[in-house]
Chains A and B, each alone.
Chain A
Amino acid sequence: MHGTDSDGIITTGTTTVGLVGADGVVLAADSRASLGGRFVTNRTARKVVPVDDRTALTFAGSVGDAQSFVRRLRAELALYDMDHEPGASVDTAATVAADLIRRDGTPQLELVLGGVAPESTVYQIDPAGGVMDAPIAASGSGMQLAYGYLEDAYDPEQSVAELRAVAAMAVRNATERDTASGDGMTVATITADELEREQYDGIERAVSAATSQPTDSEVAR
């Protein structure tokens, strides 16, 4: 989401994506924070954040709304995990997130929430608390550009190792034309075994790191 020009709220202009793969979920986002997409206020913002053991989200919109929201979501999920065995599923996390958003009265937030708990799942959550699951999701001012790439490049049979490259390319392509997105990238890979997050200083650095990582087939060899 993009801030209105007059409100002076720092927003994350932003392109974020979430992809469901054969063995997990990949979330990625650029790292630019800006005033209405016209002045870059921060170039190393991390917009992909873990909220539970195997669940993370990306946010686009007001930085203040996002930070406050993430703190509260983490607290709610920690309390849930305390007396539920196993802990919160991605489905539950999405429901709690949407409920927090509704109780807040439409904050400026577009979320992509994904994880492997227990199934690989990605949800798109809108500022009115709407929750929709989808194999691919994108949010932020660059989302049309990201979707354009994903519609062509995404294959649900791919492994997370391969999808990291797809996610990085989707964000890269959006930063080429969306002035509110750019600078660097955060890529999170979630499998049943781990939640791993990498931060890159430059867009191209992220793309080359993501594309050079070995795919499953290479590992098998």
Chain B
Amino acid sequence: MADAVMTGHKYVTPTRKRSGFRKMMERKSTIAFLMALPLLILLSVMVLYPFGYSLHLATLNKSMTRFVGFGNFAFLFKRETFWLVVQQSCIFAITAVVFKALIGFIVAHFVHNIPNKGQRKWRGMLLVPWVIPPAMSTLAWLWLFDPSYSAFNWLLSFVGIGPIPWTGDAYWARFSVILVNVWYGAPFFLIMYLASLKSVPEQLYEAAAIDGANWWQRIWFVTLPMMRNIISITVLFSLIVTFANFDIVRILTAGGPIDKTHVFATWAFWVGIQSGDIPLGATVSLFMFPILAVCAVFILRDIHRRGNEA
């Protein structure tokens, strides 16, 4: 990170007599600070302050008149739904990220395998899920999963598989939200891994081939070590985004059936905005913070390491 901030190079300004204030205004660091000031204001008013405010909200009672300390937290720990949400959030995020990373890795290899001419076209096609706003594409999935007109069930009926309750049954609903999330996120991994595959020197593979390495050994001993850093950054990054996912779960199942697919974001929305218990909703969304912080620390470390390698 520190590498991005270049050391200012000094130059001599023609010195004229000026008032102290104007002199200060013309100093380089003052100009720089003023240029970054809008950013600083935005981040402190719209990010830092709300975060502190949500810590404050989390300690109030429902009508926000009385300080209850950790009362909201204690209340949540006693609720069964909360533990369901914790469990589902973890299952959802981990499974989805693993499959996204796997599919991205595999498809990136296939795209990398074909002649260069065709790669652009395939890459362009495969990235489409990432480009469509998730709220819109999830609607298409909702329609594909429709209980009575599901186009998937229509196809499956030919192979004799009975109508699947895609969003009606708790286990199928969990599967469906993960499937849609994988569909939406895998192209991102594909693009990142493809860019990273291209940067692995061809000579390494040739050397490995001559040493008699099979394709598995080539992946294990050449590709993976060369891509390790980008893999960990994308996985951590995606873990944050998936853990905090809202759009897909909200539109596809809205947390149902019987709260079985709620993740932190959708439950916080349900509790905080729809049921009007703002302090409790703020408390729920705060539970996302620890895992986000852990991921952020690791990402920063990886990016810093990457910067040092370069």
A in complex with B? no
Task: Report which B residues bind A (CB closer than 8 A).
Answer: none
